[in-house]
Structure 1
């Protein structure tokens, strides 16, 4: 499964790389609604926004401005204790330099976690995945 995802991401990265213009690297706090993240390169920073209408998962990654970078974020829920976590919303971004991805807003009352994978788009072995604690 990871191999197929990596292959799809590399295809997307190749297409994006052909049409991408050089991007200005964003700082961790440059966009509204993002959490302040440590400036560790290629390590995703995860946060979420919740209101009465639902929850949005947000992931961002700091990267070298010349690196083709991918970031993917997922909102996962668990229907019952011990059951598998199921992805209910996801988003991915591939671009040069730092990147951010934001899921669509979902309503979920079950236990939730936010997971993100980020790093060099063309090197799946250097991508890092991290998740929040259930909330």
Structure 2
């Protein structure tokens, strides 16, 4: 019975984390946003910076100082709405503690999405992925 209660609590916490993730996905990467990312360990914050020269994808993750952490950010585009997403730029950082990764600038004209995967580098099952809405 206790195992069932623990499983329900774990599922509830996971659902709560997934519903909170879209709110964090829209955060930018200024100094004040580090506090927003620190609220949930191993949950990536993802954003983009766009200007006339293109788009840059940015992802950061908060982690314990002794944890080997991986963060990977990708810019994906579509040739046309409904076609498959293709990765056009990616960046990965692996280091102890909190980490940040920034993609090279991309000049893509189709729909774009920024996705980030982050968490403990040595335990893929604890890594989480977050994506922005297409823009």
Shorter chain as denominator, the TM-score bin is 0.7 to 0.9
**Where has structure 1 moved over 3 Å in runs of 4 or more?**
none
Q: Does 2:126 align with 1:126?
A: yes
Task: Give TM-score scaled by structure 2 length.
Answer: 0.74
2:29 is aligned to 34
1:81 is aligned to 81
2: distance between equivalents of 1:78 and 1:62? 30
The count of aligned residue pairs is 103
1: distance between equivalents of 2:43 and 2:62? 7
The residue matched to 1:125 in structure 2 has which SS? helix
Unaligned stretches of 5+ in structure 1?
A: 1-32
Alpha-carbon shift at residue 82 of structure 1 (Å) = 1.2
Q: CA RMSD in A?
A: 1.1
Q: How does 1:9-24 map to 2 (within 5 A)?
A: none
Point out the structure with max Rg over C-alpha.
2
1: distance between equivalents of 2:107 and 2:37? 29
Unaligned stretches of 5+ in structure 2?
A: 1-27
2: distance between equivalents of 1:55 and 1:81? 19
Q: Is the 8 A contact 2:37 2:60 kept in 1?
A: no
Task: Give TM-score scaled by structure 1 length.
Answer: 0.74
Alpha-carbon shift at residue 57 of structure 1 (Å) = 0.1
